[in-house]
Amino acid sequence: MKKLLVLSIIVLTAVLLLAGCQKEVEEEYVPRLVKTMKVGDATGISQRWLPGRASASQEVNLSFRVSGPLVELPVNVGDEVKQGQVLARIDPRDFEVNLRNVEGQLARAEAELQFAEAEYDRVVRIREQDPAAISASMVDRKLQEMDAASAQLVALDADIDAAKDQLDYTNMRAPFSGTIVATFVENFEEVQAKQIILRLLDPTHVEMTVDIPENVISYIRFIQNIRVRFDAFPGLVIPAEVKEIGTEASSTTQTYPVTFIMEQPEGATILAGMTGEVTGEAALPEELEQALIEIPTNAVFSDKTELSYVWVIDTSANSVHKREVQLGKLTDYGVTILSGLDAGEYIATAGVHFLEEGQVIRILEEKTAEASL
């Protein structure tokens, strides 16, 4: 009887421990973290001011392609220069000597070729008049000597071009008209090939790069009446146009870089690095006026059928629900949706094959440009 009581206590203790462990496991369940996006429409870009930063439309660090002592540096920071203007010069004397040496070799090679041609013509004439006087091998040898002299002349022609280029490389010329914004050496220094000497920028045009959210990037190509304003000149609005639309999203912000370009305004100087913002209106073509929804391709999945689906997020319950969508064309940024989604809805954009109907999730909080709109 005593043994039976002890056994009962052991069994009861085990059951209670098992129940406690089960409860603990259930309490440790953590909803899956899911990356999402808000489905956009044209209003997501129209009349919104998006932040960006200015840069010069053309900016370049200039260096020599040859090494040597600097003998001229006639420009200073702030100087305006014209395209083709000499900005710096390396001592050209060694390169001039090299060019004269190669020119001398070329003159000797031309003389040797003339002699080889004359010799070949001579033995050919003799053999034609008296075949026994000149052997065929002698004719072949003279032909080979003439060909070798001709090849040497071609090689030296190339050396002449290279020597002329080397001499020309002692002059640094402005690739475009602009302003000197930095110098990195002093005159009479010994400089090396590819060492940065000057920085030149073109201030006549200004660019601004803006990070555009993935849910409205599709509408950028339709944007019109683009205006830019800078924090340093709050009352100045500058017309601009799209120069370049990036096709690769940032891995951290899921935004695409879009570059706008504008002319330098009168009465103000926009400098590289100034912060500002840009806006415009998305004017959709008539056939797209009803809707143009575009989502990443990795947000779409299929089951055993040939139908296409997305996971729509119920934001009130943080749960996912499968919805059929009709796909349109593939684009640089994803795929267009003809039906099944509405602007403003949230969808899962990663890990879609690991989700289940009604599954509770946690939405991945990201620093997206949507927050700055």
- Give the pLDDT confidence of 56-67 residue by residue, as tens digits: 888 999 999 999
Helices 136-168 and 93-129: angle between axes, nearest 10 degrees:
160
Note the pLDDT tens digit of each residue in 282-339: 776 655 544 567 788 888 998 877 899 999 999 888 899 999 998 888 877 678 888 8
Q: Which of 15-19, 20-24, 166-170, 266-270 has the lowest mean pLDDT?
A: 20-24
14: its two tokens: 């085990």
Indicate whether 213 and 353 sit together in one domain: yes
Indicate whether 134 and 123 sit together in one domain: yes
Indicate whether 290 and 146 sit together in one domain: no
Beta carbons within 8 Å of 297's beta carbon, 6+ residues apart: 330, 334, 335
Indicate whether 103 and 163 sit together in one domain: yes
CATH code (residue 70): 2.40.50.100
**Which of 29-43, 186-200, 206-220, 336-350 has maximum average pLDDT?**
186-200
* Banded model confidence at residue 373, pLDDT cuts 50, 70, 90: very low
Strand partners, 364: none
* Banded model confidence at residue 8, pLDDT cuts 50, 70, 90: low
Indicate whether 70 and 108 sit together in one domain: no
Mean pLDDT of all residues in 351-367: 80
Indicate whether 86 and 147 sit together in one domain: no
Question: Whole-number mean pLDDT of the chain?
Answer: 85
CATH code (residue 46): 2.40.420.20
Mean pLDDT of all residues in 64-90: 96
Indicate whether 272 and 308 sit together in one domain: yes
Strand partners, 104: none
pLDDT at 286: 56
Domain count of the fold of the chain: 3
Enclosing domain of residue 45: 30-57+204-373
Indicate whether 50 and 63 sit together in one domain: no
112: left (phi over 0), alpha (psi -120 to 50) or beta: alpha
Residue 284 within any structural domain of the chain = yes
Indicate whether 266 and 305 sit together in one domain: yes
Indicate whether 53 and 63 sit together in one domain: no
Indicate whether 178 and 157 sit together in one domain: no
In this model, does residue 145 exceed pLDDT 80? yes
Residue 11 within any structural domain of the chain = no
Residue 14 within any structural domain of the chain = no
Closest-CA residue to 88 (of 183, 174, 171): 171
Cα separation values, 197 from 94, 203, 272, 294, Å: 21, 19, 20, 47
The 10 Å Cβ neighbour count of residue 45 is: 24
Closest-CA residue to 259 (of 292, 226, 231, 306): 226
pLDDT at 12: 56
Residue 24 within any structural domain of the chain = no
Indicate the residue among 181, 199, 217 that finishes a domain. Answer: 199
Residue 321 within any structural domain of the chain = yes
Residue 12 within any structural domain of the chain = no
Indicate whether 102 and 234 sit together in one domain: no
Angle at 65 between CA 64 and CA 70, to 5 degrees: 40
Burial of 218 (0-12, 13-18, 19+ CB in 10 A): buried
Residue 335 within any structural domain of the chain = yes
Q: Look up the pTM and report it.
A: 0.58
In this model, does residue 369 exceed pLDDT 50? no
Residue 133 within any structural domain of the chain = yes
